[in-house]
Amino acid sequence: MSNETNRSDGRTGVWFVGARGSVATTTVVGALAVHAGLAEHTGMVSELPEVSAARLTGIDRLVFGGHEVAEGSLAKRAEELRAGGVLPPAVVAAVAEELAAVDARVAPGVPPGSVSQRAATGRIEADLRAFRDEHELDRVIVVDVSSTEPPVADDPALNDLDRLEAALDDGGAPLPGSSAYAYAAFRAGCPYVAFTPSPGPRPPALAELAERQRLPWAGSDAKTGETLVKTVLAPMFAMRALKVRSWSSVNLLGGGDGQTLADPVNAASKTATKAHGLEEILGHRVDGPLHIDYVPDLGDWKTAWDMISFEGFLGTRMSMQFTWSGCDSALAAPLVLDLVRLVARAHERGEYGPVPELGFFFKDPAGAGGHDLSGQWDRLVEWCARDTR
Amino acid sequence: MSNETNRSDGRTGVWFVGARGSVATTTVVGALAVHAGLAEHTGMVSELPEVSAARLTGIDRLVFGGHEVAEGSLAKRAEELRAGGVLPPAVVAAVAEELAAVDARVAPGVPPGSVSQRAATGRIEADLRAFRDEHELDRVIVVDVSSTEPPVADDPALNDLDRLEAALDDGGAPLPGSSAYAYAAFRAGCPYVAFTPSPGPRPPALAELAERQRLPWAGSDAKTGETLVKTVLAPMFAMRALKVRSWSSVNLLGGGDGQTLADPVNAASKTATKAHGLEEILGHRVDGPLHIDYVPDLGDWKTAWDMISFEGFLGTRMSMQFTWSGCDSALAAPLVLDLVRLVARAHERGEYGPVPELGFFFKDPAGAGGHDLSGQWDRLVEWCARDTR
Amino acid sequence: MSNETNRSDGRTGVWFVGARGSVATTTVVGALAVHAGLAEHTGMVSELPEVSAARLTGIDRLVFGGHEVAEGSLAKRAEELRAGGVLPPAVVAAVAEELAAVDARVAPGVPPGSVSQRAATGRIEADLRAFRDEHELDRVIVVDVSSTEPPVADDPALNDLDRLEAALDDGGAPLPGSSAYAYAAFRAGCPYVAFTPSPGPRPPALAELAERQRLPWAGSDAKTGETLVKTVLAPMFAMRALKVRSWSSVNLLGGGDGQTLADPVNAASKTATKAHGLEEILGHRVDGPLHIDYVPDLGDWKTAWDMISFEGFLGTRMSMQFTWSGCDSALAAPLVLDLVRLVARAHERGEYGPVPELGFFFKDPAGAGGHDLSGQWDRLVEWCARDTR
Amino acid sequence: MSNETNRSDGRTGVWFVGARGSVATTTVVGALAVHAGLAEHTGMVSELPEVSAARLTGIDRLVFGGHEVAEGSLAKRAEELRAGGVLPPAVVAAVAEELAAVDARVAPGVPPGSVSQRAATGRIEADLRAFRDEHELDRVIVVDVSSTEPPVADDPALNDLDRLEAALDDGGAPLPGSSAYAYAAFRAGCPYVAFTPSPGPRPPALAELAERQRLPWAGSDAKTGETLVKTVLAPMFAMRALKVRSWSSVNLLGGGDGQTLADPVNAASKTATKAHGLEEILGHRVDGPLHIDYVPDLGDWKTAWDMISFEGFLGTRMSMQFTWSGCDSALAAPLVLDLVRLVARAHERGEYGPVPELGFFFKDPAGAGGHDLSGQWDRLVEWCARDTR
Ligand SMILES: NC(=O)c1ccc[n+]([C@@H]2O[C@H](COP(=O)([O-])OP(=O)(O)OC[C@H]3O[C@@H](n4cnc5c(N)ncnc54)[C@H](O)[C@@H]3O)[C@@H](O)[C@H]2O)c1
Ligand SMILES: NC(=O)c1ccc[n+]([C@@H]2O[C@H](COP(=O)([O-])OP(=O)(O)OC[C@H]3O[C@@H](n4cnc5c(N)ncnc54)[C@H](O)[C@@H]3O)[C@@H](O)[C@H]2O)c1
Ligand SMILES: NC(=O)c1ccc[n+]([C@@H]2O[C@H](COP(=O)([O-])OP(=O)(O)OC[C@H]3O[C@@H](n4cnc5c(N)ncnc54)[C@H](O)[C@@H]3O)[C@@H](O)[C@H]2O)c1
Ligand SMILES: NC(=O)c1ccc[n+]([C@@H]2O[C@H](COP(=O)([O-])OP(=O)(O)OC[C@H]3O[C@@H](n4cnc5c(N)ncnc54)[C@H](O)[C@@H]3O)[C@@H](O)[C@H]2O)c1
Ligand code: NA
Ligand code: NA
């Protein structure tokens, strides 16, 4: 499906914020496995002909590194993911050596609550520049796959780049953790992928910085499970003029992500991005709860149940329910690779600011473009085809 | 939502084959209720702005009649549908008088197994002409909502119009029942809607006749429930490069339709049209049973369960299941009204042959166009917009 | 199934707290309909031969009345329940006159927050005595089907009858609303059914009063839907030595009850009684959320989803999920009739205090007896058989 | 939970018909793992205190062997079950040596269609005697876990032992394959467990032989998944006087068993035993299909969906549905161990003929006793307690 011949020769860096989390680990193991011919391209959108048309960089041209605040190692997390049924034993064994090499490139991250952010972001920026130089990379894409942060209160310093710079000069710490990484990334000339619902590059001051640095970015919050299904089912009801009366959703998940989201303060970002799409697609408010529950027993395997009550001709009441049983990391990892390749291509083409054509991948797409998956696909394909015309 | 002002003044006939079945009865009661302001447009695609853009005829301009082989009356069937929770009591009471007027326009149909089809089709044709003349109708749309027939064996007389005419002249009966109606309709100059999976207008000899008579037609087998959901979910898996490994489907239904489909010979047409879409969308064969079971207790309320097993990155196995609880007649009736209006418009525009842009409505769309609901919607909207440019 | 001949000739009063709620209204309409031969005994446990063996009073011997704080009428609520699909139109019409007669026997209840409870409970007691006298009833059973109250804080006056009386004499209001009704009922010599999870007769001071008055009572919180299913499934896992790892529950409901339970303070009583059974049956703590959500659109129709993750031989992980779609009032009403008849029989037999053999009906059974439905059934049947030996 | 001290010192043989199938392999691997302290007793009913009260033989006292018609080895099947996620990798590795020792004790079985059954059954009998003698076993329990056979046509030779012996003497082959094994087992003085729905010991001639030989036996068709759930849910509806209107069941399964049951002729035995319980418990016929479908992709993981439509008070229609996702071999293997231990105990106690108290384990229990799981449990526990009184 891929068209290797068109790909550029240089190498692209992938720098994870949250480099030893489940998503980052699965991504690295998966990329090494694909490269070694031990795994297929299943789940990789960028290998579909309509998308690979954009002449994307090869998986074998990616070099991984990242920041992490937790102890442990990629090997240890890979072992946990193996025990949990996410990673195949044979693959983990086969890539052990290369995985250790990536682990050696993981630098200490910035824990939340640092006092002066000028110094902290300076250090992150230096790490990024050093990574790019040392490996002679064409570019480095920073991907935030760290724990979800709470939504951020409105702050004038986040709305204007000059005020932000002044606040940082004053020794302040106005940036949420994820935005500190985004700030440093943009300063270092790196495109950015907001895979989580955390603020990251979204406050206006950061969007302004990306613009000024002529850097593309994509976000927010990858659409991998129940929300993905929602964005094909809701348009179905709309196209058929069926009136959705209530839509109730429950998400049960374990794992590190589940633990973070068990805190309602952190979950607030997630429930907000998850809710966006439905009402936008249907054009009206819809009743019904949206739960995210931490059930440790389930590990990386998420079970979501949705119950939709709707009305048809002559007021007839009907319903539909679905259960989604997915492995979150296995769904997320190939999308990380897709996004890295696509954002790298946008950078190469000289595009900058949020890339609305990548809305296909996100629960809360930055830039215009809507939530309907099929419309998002059409826009993505059109964007990819630009290269071949 | 509608734009009444653009609509033509003349009246359009709607002639049902199976005029006292559940779908026909719900359609007539519903149209009368909408006209009387007793019901909303819920479920009517033709009232969405993107579709009403085609300047469709008003619901109040429709005149109903039809053929039926069963005893009984529209009033009796409406009463049964009320008891089964399909039709609201107040509505049935309010439209009783007009319903009786429609019932008076129902003529005896042709039961399967008539000996000479020349005579039978001649009588049908005469009924259609008389209906059009008596009510001074601009046109009459024939809609097949009769019981599903078995698939038809290959027969040279069905593949060539001249041979068909010769066989009829010879006193033969080469036509399946539904095709006998389609033949008479085309002879009478009437566009046709194949709402069922029966052969109807699909044998080449009939398609040839439609062409010669410059008549548009649409079909086959309206997509109202589980198959509708399939045609949005399957593209989702495809767009995300997830590998569908098996897709198992069970449909439980009572009612007249359920009784007919309890006979595996009749059900063969249905399971064939239902299966088409999935493999076409996914591009490969997919394992898993497709059951249609008659459960009298359920009446017009269909419950379908689908279980999809799929594979993601690194071979991870996941699954999704859904249950659809829908009222078949309430889902079908507004689509009958949509199709009548759209086929009437095609006729008015001078289009003829199968109208591929109406594939949105069918499990087995005639003409090119694919099964993916969203793509079908795009083509429908584009077709409707032709009038406003 | 019933054995009318054994039944006593006298009449039994049924006095509802919450007399115009959904459960009370469905009970009265249903009893009138059964009496009039318009409805069967479906859902009435007391008509099964093993239970009717206890020589229970006839449905036709029941006289209804009650307290209510809301405006409106039984007729109005019955009309709402008809529109919501709970009560059949023909039945509501047929019993209209008798329903109005019951409505005339509904007296104003005591809204929460009354200042001096001595006066308030005195008035309730007088209402109960007047009802019994006026209709020459053998006994009056008070049934609490009013809105669920929050759990009550520990208070010494609730733990000792003498202290309670003293507090009431002092002009205090130590009793939760439901317990004020229970207090008055016991003072008036009336057995009591706690159909809700509210405190009612459960504080020790009230249990003491029932004992002293030699009155039987039953409670708490009728087991009608998802919890009912839990108490047959959990024993299955236990009997098969399968290890339940997590059990997650979601209940979506509209209606008056749903609205009350939308307030987490009120729902606390409910989630407590719902959770009791599972862990008692399994013998260990079980992970997983228990949600009760108000979805107005669903009306009296509750949809519950449960997801059970369990482990078998060699650590193999498996799961089971179920969806329950029930009409709460239709499930509750026959149980109200069952409980009235059974508690009346206990009174007649001279039993007093909580009746543990009625645990079959409750989420939080008073008295010893366990939660396993089948064991509860065995004890109920044994209790009923006492009369026939 | 076990009470080892009471157990007899001798050893018990377990002889499988179908010794290299999934169930047999999982049983042997599991028993070795439990013995080695590598696995817990999860799923073993015989380790619950109420059942171990019968002073059952220790798992470590079991010696395995069997007949098989297929090529391959226990090691090979264990490897397949590991790859399919049924057996944990570490366990398979740890027991490899002992597994090979069991495999060496597997003798060639009798393929269906042998001409003279006198010779064939003589050979089986000799194998059983040799196994018992060589290992100095107290007794050998024969367990049929081979592929399900079709139901058998009525034949006088199967209804009377003398006629059967005469037919065998005449060189005939009147016995279905499974009954040939049962015949040989009884002749060799071995108790028998019919774990499958095949005829096995059930034809009257064989029951007569067991009686004459004073041998106990148990069957038929172990109740492991969807049927297990049915036998707790159906009593719930019955105890609550709710009217079940239809009950539809779908079973999707892969594996060897799935492949066998894909043939409707073989499946006929299964669908018959599965259907028995429901109507017996409810006391009336119940509508609804019962499908068993072969979906290779699912392997040993069965997914069953049941949809129950029921009626409550005043005719209100409600429904319940459940999905069971279980690993059949992991559910079956511990029950094989339970049955071996319990039938051995019955033999030791001198009981003979079908043991009705073991109905708890079966879809089609031999001997009186009903299908309700909870009643079956009560009878099992009472039987086990006989030893301790
Ligand atoms: N898996 C999916 O399907 C999916 C979809 C959308 C979004 N996400 C988001 O992706 C993120 C990662 O998910 P996961 O399952 O890998 O979670 P995880 O908990 O396994 O990993 C998060 C990692 O981030 C690290 N981290 C936390 N704070 C940090 C900081 N300040 N600097 C550097 N590292 C930090 C943690 O130590 C941890 O290793 C989550 O925010 C999740 O919500 C996941
Ligand atoms: N309801 C849906 O969602 C849906 C969707 C797709 C297709 N369909 C198809 O629509 C058709 C009608 O469904 P229904 O529920 O109304 O079924 P129904 O059984 O209630 O009605 C069919 C009617 O056709 C009549 N009929 C049979 N043979 C005839 C003949 N030769 N001439 C004239 N009338 C004849 C029957 O007497 C009956 O009144 C079925 O074929 C069904 O498969 C329905
Ligand atoms: N339906 C079921 O399956 C079920 C099962 C278990 C318990 N319950 C409980 O039964 C109760 C009744 O349920 P419902 O659906 O009828 O609710 P509802 O809201 O329709 O009725 C409750 C009635 O109680 C009245 N009320 C409130 N406070 C009162 C007071 N102090 N004095 C007198 N009347 C008062 C309200 O005005 C209302 O009319 C609820 O507490 C519910 O939790 C119901
Ligand atoms: N697993 C469960 O939950 C469960 C429950 C109830 C009943 N059963 C029954 O248990 C049986 C075994 O199931 P399985 O999953 O192990 O199936 P399987 O196909 O894996 O094993 C059956 C084995 O029997 C062997 N066999 C066939 N005919 C034979 C013969 N004449 N003599 C000797 N061996 C023969 C086959 O070669 C095969 O190895 C099936 O009949 C199944 O229906 C299983
Ligand atoms: Na599209
Ligand atoms: Na019992």
Instruction: Name which residue leads in pLDDT, B262 or A235.
Output: A235
CB within 8 Å: D85 and A85: yes
Chain B CB within 8 Å of residue A382 CB: no
Identify the architecture of domain C226-328 in CATH.
2-Layer Sandwich (3.30)
Considering only CB atoms, A47 lies closest to which of B241, B242, B372, namely B241
- Pairing status of strand D139-144 against strand D12-17: parallel
Q: For ligand 2, say whether the CB of B274 is within 6 Å of any of its atoms.
A: no
Beta bridge partners of D194: D144, D219
Whether B148 lines ligand 2, by a CB cut-off of 6 Å, is yes
User: How many angstroms away from the CA of D129 is the closest CA of chain C?
Assistant: 31
Give the count of beta carbons closer than 10 Å to the beta carbon of residue B354. Answer: 25
pLDDT at C376 exceeding the cut of 60: yes
Q: Where does residue C93 rank: exposed (0-12), middle (13-18), buried (19+ CB within 10 A)? A: exposed
The distance of A314 to chain B (nearest Cα, Å) reads: 6
Find the Cα–Cα–Cα–Cα dihedral C330, C336, C342, C348, rounded to 10°: -150
Residue A6, pLDDT score: 43
Pocket mutation for ligand 2, best pick of B146, B331, B361 (most atoms within 8 Å of C-beta): B146
Kindly state if the Cβ of C57 falls inside 6 Å of ligand 3. Answer: no
Q: Is any ligand 3 atom within 6 A of the Cβ of residue C144?
A: no
B374 close to B232: Cβ distance less than 8 angstroms: yes
CB contact under 8 A, A232 and B235: yes
Neighbours of chain D (3+ CB pairs under 8 A): A, B, C
pLDDT for position D388: 65
Residue % of chain A over a pLDDT of 70: 97
- Among the ranges given (A101-115, C158-172, D157-171), the one the predictor scored with the smallest mean pLDDT: A101-115
Cβ–Cβ gap D233/C228 under 8 Å: no
Question: What is the tens place of the pLDDT at every residue in D135-192?
Answer: 999 999 999 999 999 888 889 999 999 999 999 999 999 999 999 999 999 999 999 9
Residues with Cβ within 8 Å of residue C222, at least 6 apart in sequence: C195, C196, C332, C335, C336, C339, C361, C362, C363
The neighbours of chain C, by the rule of 3 or more Cβ pairs under 8 Å, are A, B, D
Residue of chain A whose alpha carbon sits nearest to that of D84: A85
State both tokens at B48. 């969405």
* Tokens standing for residue A349: 């083409």
Q: Is it true that the peptide bond before A147 is cis, omega within 30 degrees of 0? A: no
Shortest-distance ligand to the CA of residue A255: 1
Cβ contact, residue pair C322, D319, below 8 Å? no
| pLDDT over 90 (residue A111) | no
Residues 262-321 of A with CB under 8 A from C: 287-289, 291, 293, 295-298, 303, 305, 307, 309, 319, 321
* CATH entry 3.40.50.720 includes domain A4-222+330-388: yes
- Integer Cα distance of B178 and B109 in angstroms: 11
Preceding peptide of A220 cis, ω within 30°: yes
DSSP assignment of B272-311: HHHHHHHHHHHSS--B--EEEEE-GGGTTEEEEEEEEEEE
Residues 6+ apart with CB under 8 A from A113: none
- Could you give the strand order of the β-sheet that contains D139-144, starting from the edge strand earlier in sequence? D106-108, D62-68, D12-17, D139-144, D192-194, D216-219, D353-354
pLDDT the model gives residue D3: 40
Count CA within 13 A, CB hemisphere, residue C276: 20
pLDDT of res. A249: 96
Measured between CB atoms, which of B245, B246, B296 is closest to D287?
Answer: B296
Going by pLDDT thresholds of 50, 70 and 90, the confidence category of residue C1 is very low
- Nearest Cα neighbor of D23 from D365, D342, D259, D327 is D327
CA of A387 to the centre of ligand 5 (A): 21
Residue in C42, C312, C320 closest to D241 by CB? C42
Say if residues D319 and D307 touch (Cβ distance below 8 Å).
Answer: yes
- Choose the weakest-confidence range: A26-40, A259-273, B79-93, C134-148: A259-273
In this prediction, residue C152 carries a pLDDT of 85
Q: Which residues neighbour ligand 5 (ion) by CB within 5 Å? A: A 374, 378; B 374, 378
- Strand, coil or helix: D189: coil
Q: Distance between CA B237 and CA A377 in Å, rounded?
A: 12
Residue in the block written with tokens 């071979």: B315
Pairing of strands A192-194, A139-144: parallel
What angle do helix axes D74-83 and D22-35 make, rounded to 10 degrees? 90
Indicate the burial class of B283 (C-beta count within 10 angstroms; 0-12, 13-18, 19 or more). Answer: exposed
CA-to-CA distance for B325 and D307, rounded, in angstroms? 11
**For ligand 2, atom 33, which residue shows the shortest CA distance?**
B68
In angstroms, the CA D324 to CA D152 distance is 31
pLDDT tens digit sequence for A123-172:
999 999 999 999 999 999 999 999 999 888 889 999 999 999 999 999 99
Segment holding D25, helix H or strand E: helix D22-35
Bridging pattern class, strands A353-354 and A62-68: unpaired
Low-confidence ranges of chain B (pLDDT < 70): 1-8, 114, 388-389
Which residues make beta-bridge pairs with A250?
A: A291, A305
pLDDT for the residue numbered D4: 42
- CATH 3.40.50.720: which residues of chain C? 4-222+330-388
Determine the distance separating the centroid of ligand 5 and the alpha carbon of B237, expressed in angstroms: 15
- Measured from the Cβ of residue A378, the count of other Cβ atoms closer than 10 Å reads 17
Arithmetic mean of pLDDT, C171-193:
96
Q: Are A313 and B322 a contacting pair at CB < 8 A?
A: no
Tell me the three state secondary structure of residue D199: coil
Rg of chain D, C-alpha, whole Å? 21
Helix, strand or coil, per DSSP, at residue C129: helix
Q: Which atom of ligand 4 is nearest to the CA of D66?
A: 33
> Picking from A139-148, C95-104, C263-272, C359-368, which range would have the lowest pLDDT averaged per residue?
C263-272
Cα(A337) to centroid of ligand 2, in Å?
A: 51
Of C257, C266, C270, C363, the residue with max ligand 3 atoms within 8 A of its CB, to mutate for a pocket test, comes to C257
Q: Is D8's Cβ below 8 Å from some Cβ in B? A: no
Give start-end residues of each CATH 3.30.360.10 domain in chain D. Answer: 226-327
- The boundaries of every CATH 3.30.360.10 domain in chain C are 226-328
Write out the two tokens for D44: 């073993």
Comparing alpha-carbon positions, the chain D residue that sits nearest to C376 is D239
Query: ipTM of this model?
Result: 0.95
Q: How far apart are CA C220 and CA C197, in angstroms?
A: 6
Q: Measured between alpha carbons, how far is D329 from C316 in angstroms, rounded to an integer?
A: 10
Provide the phi-psi class of C62: left if phi over 0, else alpha when psi is between -120 and 50, else beta: beta
What is the number of the ligand closest to the CA of A370?
5
* B339: DSSP letter: H
Rounded distance from Cα D58 to ligand 6 centre (Å): 28
Interhelix angle A264-282/A226-239, rounded to 10 degrees, is: 20
Element (H, E) at D245: strand D243-253
- Cβ-Cβ contacts under 8 Å, D307 against chain B: 252, 303, 305
String of b and e for A215-242 (b: at least 16 CB within 10 Å)? bbbbbbbbbbbbbbbbbbbbbbbbbbbb
Q: Which of B193, B257, B179 shows the shortest CA–CA distance to B14?
A: B193
Dist. CA B218 → ligand 5 center (Å): 22
From atom 11 of ligand 3, which residue's Cα is the shortest distance away? C145
pLDDT band at A9, cuts 50/70/90?
confident
Nearest CA to ligand 1 atom 12: A145
What CATH number is given for A226-327 in this structure?
3.30.360.10
Nearest residue of chain A to residue C293 (CA atoms): A289
Q: Any CB–CB contact under 8 A between B330 and chain A?
A: yes
Given a contact cutoff of 8 angstroms between Cβ atoms, the answer to whether D274 and B219 are in contact is: no
Q: Is the pLDDT of residue C11 over 90?
A: yes
Question: Dihedral of CA C173/C175/C176/C179: which sign?
Answer: negative
Cα C167-C172-C173 angle, rounded to 5 deg: 110
- Which residue in C33, C47, C233 is closest to D241 by CB distance? C47
- Mean pLDDT within C85-106: 96
User: How far apart are alpha carbons D168 and D171 in whole angstroms?
Assistant: 5
| B170: alpha, beta or left? (left if phi > 0; alpha if psi -120 to 50) | alpha
Q: What does the pLDDT read at residue D256? A: 77
Give pLDDT, residue A252: 95
B260 alpha-carbon distance from chain centroid:
16
User: What parts of chain D have a pLDDT lower than 50?
Assistant: 1-7
Q: Which residues pair with C88 in a beta bridge?
A: none
The Cα of B245 is separated from the nearest Cα of chain D by a number of Å equal to: 7
Predicted confidence (pLDDT) at residue A388 exceeds the cutoff of 70: no
What tokens does B94 get? 């309010």
Give the mean model confidence (pLDDT) for residues A166-192: 96
DSSP conformational letter for B230: H
D344 has which bridge partners?
none
Neighbours of ion ligand 6 (CB under 5 A): C 374, 378; D 374, 378
